[in-house]
Amino acid sequence: MKAATIDVAEYEGRIRVALSGHWTLANLPTPVAAMEARLRDCAARDAEWDLEGVDRIDSVGAILLWRAWGHRWPAELAATAPQRAALERAANIRHERRSVPRYRRWITIETLGRLVFAAGRNLLDIVALIGQLLLDIVYLAIHPRDIPWREFSANVFKSGALALPVTALVGFLIGVVLSYLSSLQLKTFGADVYIVNLLGISIIRELGPVIVAVLVAGRSGSAMTAQIGVMRVTQEIDALATMGVSRSVRLVLPKVLALAVAMPLLVLWCAAAGILGGMVSANLEMGLAYGFFLDTLPKVVPVANLWIGLGKGFFFGMLIALLACHFGLKVRPNTESLSSKTTTAVVTAITAVIVVDAVFAIVTRNIGIPGSV
């Protein structure tokens, strides 16, 4: 096949442009921008156009010529009937240009509006997902044989048991750091014994649940989103729907319940590791005996703090799993969407955990704090 060529000749002060070859997608030279620039230059000089030497022209070649002509017919054109038909089809294509906003502040307002509407849609979808899970729980209560025990136990193992080492390590180190930094100030005022109060309430009530939630959101939450997202990409979820298997019963509900069960246990485990690390650091820095620490801890830290920490773990677990499954189901069948939704799920889960923890702090401000009214 002949390549597309342009022959420019000048006679009697006139420019004549003769095209030849195959003006098709497969035969146009690359980069096409260079040829289009040459055609525009000829069109700007009010040239005569001769297309009779063109053997074949497709929609790509016709659109290229039409754009070079400035979306209008040249004054003099020699073309066959099929060539004119192809050019007319290119001329009938609507060329819409987006208008540039007059004021740049509208861009910010538009972006803010998009974020608000996107957040509203996500909130509605999460509420719908919660409603579906409640319906699934009612259905499984009536049909106990359909309870996905295997999926539930697998998620408890992956989200709970496999997370024990990292939560213990982080909890222990947090306890060591908090105890070491606090001891520097407490020794100044001769209040060494109050390290037990500080470590007990802060780790059991606040730091334990929040640290575990952040770790689980980054570890298990991202894994849940990625798993469901890959199933969306590979159309496994569509296959489940074709077989009549509920995706919420088999995929979402086991993850939510498993993380709701595993999170309080991880919080207790992390708090114990944090107390141990704080106790070791207090013994090394201030000489507090292990027996004194263990004997004083239940006296100065009311048991209500433990229940608040476990309750936070329960709600944080459900929240992380819901957000992870929600964004996993939103994944489109491409890898870019999978990566962006996984990142969005983790960031949203961590932000939501901090917001909910602030709400918990306000609601339970008079519970479990010695001397509170």
CA distance linking residue 231 with residue 255, whole number of Å: 15
54 has a pLDDT exceeding 70: yes
> Which phi and psi (to 5°) does residue 87 adopt?
-70, -35
Q: What are the two backbone dihedrals, phi and then psi, of residue 273, each rounded to the nearest 5 degrees? A: -65, -40
pLDDT in tens, 86-122: 888 888 876 545 444 444 555 578 778 888 888 888 8
Rounded to an integer, what distance in angstroms lies between the CA atom of residue 365 and that of residue 373? 9
> Considering only 94-98, 258-262, 301-305, 318-322, which range has the smallest mean pLDDT?
94-98
Higher pLDDT, 192 or 227: 227
Higher-confidence residue of 68 and 105: namely 68
Average pLDDT of the segment spanning 257-277: 93
Average confidence (pLDDT) over 17-45:
82
Report pLDDT for 216. 93
> So what's the pLDDT on residue 31?
78
- Give the list of residues 6+ apart from residue 126 with CB closer than 8 angstroms, or none: 322, 323, 326
The predicted structure's pLDDT at residue 355:
93
pTM above 0.75, yes or no: no
Dist CA 305 CA 267 (whole Å): 12
User: Per-residue pLDDT tens for 225-257?
Assistant: 999 988 888 888 888 888 888 888 888 999 999
Q: Which candidate, 168, 135, 176, places its Cα nearest to that of 283? A: 176
**Mean pLDDT of all residues in 34-49:** 83
Over residues 152-167, the pLDDT tens digits come to 999 999 999 999 999 9
Question: How far is the C-alpha of 342 from the C-alpha of 3, rounded, in Å?
Answer: 47
Count of C-beta atoms within a 10 Å radius of residue 302: 19
Cα 168 from Cα 162, distance rounded (Å): 11
Residue 131's pLDDT is what?
92
Q: What percent of the chain has pLDDT over 70?
A: 94
In this prediction, residue 94 carries a pLDDT of 62
From CA 22, how far away is CA 56, in angstroms rounded? 5
72: pLDDT strictly greater than 80: yes
Residues above pLDDT 90, as percent of the chain: 33
Contact partners, residue 316, CB within 8 Å, separation at least 6: 209, 212, 213, 216, 263, 353, 356, 357
Region of poorest pLDDT, from 93-97, 141-145, 162-166, 281-285: 93-97
Cβ pair 305, 201 in contact under 8 A: yes
Residue 13 has pLDDT above 80, yes or no: no
* Choice between 289 and 347, residue whose per-residue pLDDT is larger: 347
The reported pLDDT for the residue numbered 100 is: 47
**Residue 217 in contact with residue 266, Cβ under 8 Å?**
no
Q: Would strands 77-78 and 48-57 be described as parallel, antiparallel, or unpaired?
A: parallel
Distance CA 75, CA 47 (A): 8
Alpha carbon 98 to its chain's center: 29
Count the Cβ atoms, other than its own, within 10 Å of residue 312. 26
Stretch 190-202: mean pLDDT, rounded?
A: 83
**Which whole number is the average pLDDT over 280-308?**
87
Q: In a 10 Å sphere around its CB, with 0-12 CB exposed, 13-18 middle and 19+ buried, how is residue 109 labelled? A: exposed
Mean pLDDT of the chain: 86
Tell whether the model's pLDDT for residue 171 goes beyond 90: yes
Alpha carbon distance 22, 193 (integer Å): 90
Indicate the helix (H) or strand (E) that contains 21.
Answer: strand 14-23
pLDDT computed for residue 373 by the predictor: 45
Examine residue 31 and say whether the peptide bond preceding it is cis (omega within 30 degrees of 0): yes
Across 18-22, 51-55, 132-136, the highest mean pLDDT is recorded for: 132-136
